[in-house]
Structure 1
Amino acid sequence: MTGDPAKRAGTAETAGTAGTAAVTSGLGPRVASVLRALEERSDKERAEMEALRAAGALRERAAEFMLDVGPASGLFLNTLVRSVRARTVLEVGGSVGYSTVWLAEAARATGGRVYSIEPDDGKRAEQRANLRAAGLEDVVELTACEAPALVPALPAPLDLVLLDHWKELYVRDFEACWPSVAPGGLVVADNILTPKKNAVVIAGYRRHLAGLSDARSQVVPVGAGLEVTVKCEDQLIDERPVPTAPSVSPVTPTPRDGGPHR
């Protein structure tokens, strides 16, 4: 959940509304149409949402807004699902389905399935309608269940998890998911760089990641900032023999056409 204007208008977001056609050019027409419609809605919501944020009243009315990741982050998430050939994807914070569509389009290609958590009944109904319009409803399961209760019931392992909900729940839900994440699997958290009001909570989340021995993590400056954390198996890596470099005889260069060596 973002909604921060920097993710579309700032330097971190390289593919805003003007670049949507390029971002969605490889998608089917139904998927592209749904994404464009949602991006147009997000643009219209932005001014009111920022006024509410400035007044400290956004949280009370959050159910009225999309709070989407934006097109560049959506494409990045789609690419990650494909790169790890994810079979089980968990989205924590589906809203009306913008990021869900991006995840599901890739999961269909990998033979995977998306499990999306959205506690608000109204948003979940919109999410279902948008997935149906995109032709992706059959690869997504929607639920209001919270991550700690849901994860034990999901097919293991988890290949990719997206955290995009209330930031104070990031550590709790990361911990609920991490034991089930596959080696080489990913946990991606949104809103790492913006909005700045989340800086203290996000710093706590990043400190938590830094204390893990079986994780490598990096901030990717796409959209509102994504923290990408990969599950490592350090003990297996440490026990693996180090490859020996092949023995290569030194070669003395021969000058060409009588010219000097370089």
Structure 2
Amino acid sequence: MTSTVFLQRIADLYDEFKQHDARQSDRLRRYRNIEAESAKLLGMLVRTQHSQHILEIGTSTGYSTLWLAEAAKSVSAKVQTLEINAFRSAQAKKYAEEFDLEAYIDFWVGDAADYLTESVEQFDLILLDAERGSYVSYWHDLKRLLKPTGGTLIIDNVISHTAEVKPLLELIKQDENFMSTILPVGAGLCMVVVK
């Protein structure tokens, strides 16, 4: 069960991240973390599915990573998180240590495309929350890495950045092996599962 201490600490961290983003005029300087309700839903999915292998594409400063790891702890699972920016990944690792969740997270720094191409592990849950221009190029590997039974892909920002994610959503709709739906939570989540 999510502890009251975790909920308070994560709420404070979320406020800190939001204040930081509000001060930045350059989009790339913002942390651009997932919305609080979306992060909570991810934690719930890990618990209900008993996800053992979790992949996060786009760590940023680790807000969603902490939610995933806190849920992973409750089901004895592990989170693999990918981030291209080494400084951001280091920040996320520091927060994971502060929350005493670092044992449940493997941090990987580099281009997600490289990781996805080389990985052979299959995942129960994949969160895609990175640079949206790369999403279409990820699709082939995402399909391969998603566990065929019960695997779930969650894509963030499908309502807030509709035009940017539309090419990927169209690819998914055309693929007869998958079904998807849009969840009006946070900035909009698309949930994708194998048929």
TM-score scaled to structure 1, two decimals?
0.69
Q: Are 2:18 and 1:40 equivalent residues in the alignment?
A: no
1:219 — aligned with what? 182
Paired residues of 1:88 and 1:155 also in contact (CA < 8 A): no
1:199 to 162, 167, 170: 162
1:103 — aligned with what? 68
Deviations 1:126-170 (A, max 9, x none): 100111111110010001133343246656321010010111111
1:77 to 38, 42, 46: 42
For 1:57-72, list aligned pairs within 5 A. 57-58=26-27, 62=28, 64-72=29-37
Task: Mark the runs of 5 or more structure 2 residues left unpaired by the alignment.
Answer: none
1:123 to 73, 79, 88: 88
2:53 — aligned with what? 88
1:136 — aligned with what? 101
Paired residues of 2:156 and 2:188 also in contact (CA < 8 A): yes
Distance 2:54 2:22 in 1: 32
Distance 1:98 1:155 in 2: 26
Distance 2:51 2:117 in 1: 18
Answer with 1 or 2: which has the greater Rg. 1
Runs of 4+ in structure 1 off by over 4 angstroms are 152-155
1:181 — aligned with what? 146
Q: Secondary structure at the match of 1:188?
A: strand
2:18 alignment partner AA: D
Distance 2:74 2:182 in 1: 26
Distance 1:113 1:192 in 2: 26
**Counterparts in 2 of 1:181 and 1:38: CA distance versus 1, 3 Å:** same
**Counterparts in 2 of 1:79 and 1:174: CA distance versus 1, 3 Å:** farther
1:210 — aligned with what? 173
Task: Mark the runs of 5 or more structure 1 residues left unpaired by the alignment.
Answer: 1-25, 233-262
Paired residues of 2:116 and 2:138 also in contact (CA < 8 A): no
Paired residues of 1:117 and 1:143 also in contact (CA < 8 A): yes
**Counterparts in 2 of 1:125 and 1:209: CA distance versus 1, 3 Å:** same
Residue 34 of structure 1 and its aligned partner are, at CA, apart by 3.6
Number of equivalent positions: 194
Distance 2:174 2:134 in 1: 18
